[in-house]
Amino acid sequence: MLDLKQDTEAARVKSFMDRKVDVPESGYDRLGSPVASVVVITTMDQEGRVNAAPVATCLRNNHVPTCFEFTMDIKRHTAQNVLATKQFVVNIVPFDRAVLERVHVTAMPFPKGVNELSVAGLTAIPSRVVRAPRIGECRSHFECELEWTKQWFETRLTIVGRVVAASIDRDCIDDKGYVIHEKLMPVQYAGQAYNGKYLGISETMDVAWKWDGPDPKTYYPPTNGQ
Ligand SMILES: Cc1cc2nc3c(=O)[nH]c(=O)nc-3n(C[C@H](O)[C@H](O)[C@H](O)COP(=O)(O)O)c2cc1C
């Protein structure tokens, strides 16, 4: 078990890198589950300085090609860095108190250029394709290249990126590429702004497809004679 307080940065990077497995493009969509949870977006500015910020509006918004979107104020460093470098990483945050306490630190309004991962004691590990790092303590990662942005409600910027690499802790994925939700345990937004309350959901259920009627494409329900 990794000790976040005791281990050196180099030991943490190596330990986290050893845990990660790359997922082929055909598996990106399977990894995108649940489709929305609390994430930390990592970016780099044009000078190569790392930035990190938690986001509760992040959503996998297309199956294939797999894309993610999130919305931020255009003045935020994350938004500025994405506009400048056209890349970002979606790091799925686990339902883990020690990690969430560090994630809170990344949300604080540090000046531009401050590496919130270092300040928070989170571990930056190299990404596979993009320049911004992954976060070792997060269990799955989507490296994205910018597809489009839309500025709306005056200062809000919605950012959509296409996944160009995905990776996950090997104990969180089965041999078919499906997420093992009980292991991934992604944290959910609890609908209480940013007051520190979070929701953990890991229960899954298999539900049968039941339909005894005719081909639904040609089926129109009875209209009671009207
Ligand atoms: C759990 C959590 C979720 C957040 N989600 C969002 C979000 O979806 N959109 C947003 O604009 N800010 C969100 N924030 C606030 C930003 O993370 C915060 O403004 C941060 O300082 C922005 O950092 P930056 O300027 O380095 O990009 C969230 C904060 C927390 C703690």
Ligand 1 atom nearest to 54, measured from its CA: 17
Average pLDDT over all residues of the chain: 94
Helix (H, G, I), strand (E, B) or coil at 51: strand
- Domain 9-218 = CATH 2.30.110.10: yes
CA–CA gap between residue 51 and residue 47 (Å, rounded): 11
Give, in degrees to the nearest 5, the angle at Cα 126 between 187 and 202. Answer: 20
CA–CA gap between residue 93 and residue 219 (Å, rounded): 43
Nearest residue by C-alpha to atom 7 in ligand 1: 55
Give, in degrees to the nearest 5, the angle at Cα 27 between 23 and 33. Answer: 100
Ligand 1 centroid, distance to 40 Cα (angstroms): 9
58 pLDDT band, cuts 50/70/90, is very high
Strands (E), the chain: 20-23, 39-44, 50-55, 59-62, 67-73, 87-92, 124-125, 134-135, 140-152, 156-169, 187-189, 198-200
Ligand 1 atom nearest to 78, measured from its CA: 27
The residue ranking higher by pLDDT, 3 or 106, is: 106
Does residue 186's CB lie within 6 angstroms of at least one atom of ligand 1?
no
H helices of the chain, in order, are: 9-19, 28-31, 77-85, 97-106, 116-120, 181-184
Residue 24 CA: distances (Å) to CA of 72, 91, 101, 163, 166: 29, 17, 32, 11, 7
Least confident range from 45-59, 85-99, 100-114, 187-201: namely 187-201
pLDDT at position 2 is 60
pLDDT at position 225 is 62
Does residue 117's CB lie within 6 angstroms of at least one atom of ligand 1?
no
DSSP code, position 64: T
The residue ranking higher by pLDDT, 175 or 4, is: 175
- Percent of the residues in the chain that have a pLDDT greater than 70, as a whole number: 96
Ligand 1 centroid, distance to 70 Cα (angstroms): 10
Residue 70 in this model has a pLDDT that exceeds 80: yes
Helix (H, G, I), strand (E, B) or coil at 6: coil
Helix (H, G, I), strand (E, B) or coil at 98: helix
Q: For the chain, which residues make up each domain, given as ranges? A: 9-218
